[in-house]
Structure 1
Amino acid sequence: MDSALTTIGLPIALGIIMFGLGLSLTVGDFARVAKAPKAVSIALGCQLILLPAIAFGLVKLFDLDPLLAVGVMLLAASPGGTTANLFSHLFKGDVALNVTLTAVNSVIAVITLPVITNFALGHFNPPDADGTLGLQFTKVLQVFAIVLIPVVLGMWVRVQSQSFAHRMDKPVRIGSAVVLALVIVGTVISERENILDYIAQIGIVAALFCLLSLGVGYAVPRMFGIGDRQAIASSMEIGIHNSTLAITIAVSLLHSSELAIPAAVYGVLMFPLAAGAGFLITRMSPKLAYAA
């Protein structure tokens, strides 16, 4: 992949996406944790504990190539994407909960993402890891910069002009989808000689991981008595990852296109699978089916 795209283009594109996220957030979205602590805690527990465990089990079960295995773990550690809000809205989920989860998880991910990624690098020890492949302190600071600073700026702009924030909501969402598509295409082109082998290896794992993420995100909250609408929000938040963040970290910070392949494949699969899961859930619940 072209160095200008990896070192400049990807971080800028991700920064715009995170800025757009900030435009949709208020301080109250963080404070809402206190109003719905059970739903937030269960969803975060699924995101931060169960998903990495599921990802680890899948890559061991399918005996993935070490670099692809680390890529799956990097994806599992990435927070939910802003598109989860849209899917939650389409399938009668609690969008306010989605916004809160995205806000809180984006902050927590600054810590958990490097921890999980470095654990995976140490455990799977990919052949290209010659001691330089890892998220050291300076790279963690870069993660902080590209994740949180644009969000804070977006929130500040919203405080200054809510009308501007509302006007920019749709363009940023469209732009996010376009950026994700371009990033996936760029990743595929850079690995075109090996892409068929990679997809053969990672396709089933990515699909299973997506389905399990969506299923766990809905089933676990329901097991603990959380209502349908909040469980749907949790499902979409956990099943729709910020693939652009995972790809940016893989390519721009870890300088490995191979590490980005799982996130690229997942980025293609997660939308139809999330749509199918949302349709199934709403048809399983009489109240939601009637509302739809």
Structure 2
Amino acid sequence: MTANPLLTLFMPMALGIIMLGLGLSLTLADFTRVAKFPKPVLVGLGCQILLLPLVCFCIAKGFGLEPALAVGLMLLAASPGGTTANLYSHLAHGDVALNITLTAVNSVIAILTMPLIVNFALLHFMQGDQAIPLQFAKVLQVFAIVLGPVAIGMGVRSRFPAFAERMQTPVKIVSALFLALIILLALAKDWQTFIEYAPLVGLAALSFNLISLAVGYYVPRLLKLSQRQAIAIGMEIGIHNGTLAIALALSPMLLNNSTMAIPAAVYSIIMFFTAAAFGWWVNQLHGQELAAEA
């Protein structure tokens, strides 16, 4: 595939605005909170970094996904949680502070883990000449684009908290519009492949989403974390940063493969409905316990 000037310009801009919105919601305390409450953070990161790629690999093999789609699903699994998890966690009475901390920490850790997971997927699923390794230096360039706006947003919030508070809503609206445009762009670029594989990709993405929510909720409960913490981790694990996965797949300077963007695009649509259902279910089941913890 040849580089598309629109993608070259649009993707960094879209990622920058979305990550600026994340930065406006973060403070240094969101990172230092790890030292105060290490167990829930470590449990969440363990599920995200260790369990989910293994689950995703099994799903990709089990559904017999076409190589590029399998790599795309693994790319999604390697992506950190999305900022939307914070909203869903709040609505479901989860520990939002834990969500914010997990998003912040995992976004930094992903700089190291994403190239490893994606390169493994490329080497395993793609044929020799199709497997173009995801160079660490290139990923570092992308995360400079990604984390730079986060740092700017955090700086703005630190110096001008009232302004940052006012800007959060409009930036979130713009981010949502960019997310919708990125999904449409991903589907439009490989529409025939999407039509051909939609049922299979949809089932694989749905399976991965439901298992992610289950792992994120039940593993913390087995390890004696509170209901609110389990809900927060469930949302964080179940709502991936699909925008980042799509951008990395479509980026002309990285994977440059629109087929790899399809699983993340489909997942980004599915997760809104499953996360809402998960939040409703857990509140119906444990409403009194959540009220006592609040």
Please report the TM-score for the alignment, with normalisation by the length of structure 1: 0.95
Amino acid at match of 2:229: Q
Deviation at 1:171, TM superposition (A): 1.2
Quote the residue 2:271 is aligned against.
Answer: 270
1:54 maps onto 2:55 in alignment: yes
Distance 2:183 2:6 in 1: 12
Structure 2 counterpart of 1:91: 92
1:65-80 equivalent positions in 2, closer than 5 A: 65-80=66-81
- Equivalent residue, structure 1, for 2:176: 177
Q: 1:236 matched to which residue of 2?
A: 235
After TM superposition, the structure 1 = structure 2 runs for residues 1-292 of structure 1, keeping only pairs within 5 Å, are: 3-126=4-127, 129=130, 133-252=132-251, 253-287=254-288
Question: Matched residues in 2 for 1:275 and 1:10: separation?
Answer: 28
Structure 1 stretch displaced more, 183-192 or 266-275: 183-192
- Residues 290/28 of structure 1: CA separation in 2 closer, same or farther (3 Å cut): closer
State how far apart, in whole Å, the 1-side matches of 2:137 and 2:262 are: 24
- Letter aligned with residue 73 of structure 1: M
Deviates more, 1:169-178 or 1:32-41: 169-178
CA-CA distance at 1:151 after TM superposition: 0.9
Cα deviation code 1:241-267 (max 9, x no counterpart): 100000000000211000100000001
How many residue pairs match? The answer is 290
Q: Matches of 1:214 and 1:137 in 2, distance apart?
A: 30
What are the ranges of 5 or more consecutive residues in structure 1 without an aligned counterpart? none
Distance between the aligned counterparts of 1:69 and 1:128, measured in 2? 17
Q: Is the 2:193–2:259 Cα contact (8 Å) retained in structure 1?
A: no
Q: Is the 8 A contact 1:198 1:261 kept in 2?
A: no
Q: Over residues 123-170 of structure 1, what are the superposed CA-to-partner deviations in whole Å (9 max), with x where a residue is unaligned? A: 1124772x5x23113312223212211111111111120111101111
Query: Following the alignment from structure 1 to structure 2, what is the Cα–Cα distance between the partners of residues 42 and 287?
Result: 24
Cα shift readout 1:219-259 (whole Å, capped 9, x = no counterpart): 00000000000110001111001000000000002110001
* 2:192 aligned counterpart, secondary structure: coil
Unaligned 5+ runs, structure 2: none
Q: Provide the C-alpha distance between the structure 1 equivalents of 2:200 and 2:127, rounded to a whole number of angstroms.
A: 16
Runs of 4+ in 1 over 3 A off after TM superposition: 288-292
Q: Once superposed, what is the RMSD of the aligned Cα atoms?
A: 1.7
CA displacement, residues 91-130 of structure 1 (integer Å, 9 cap, x when unaligned): 000100000000000000011011100110011124772x
Confirm or deny: 8 A CA contact 1:93 1:233 kept in the other structure: yes
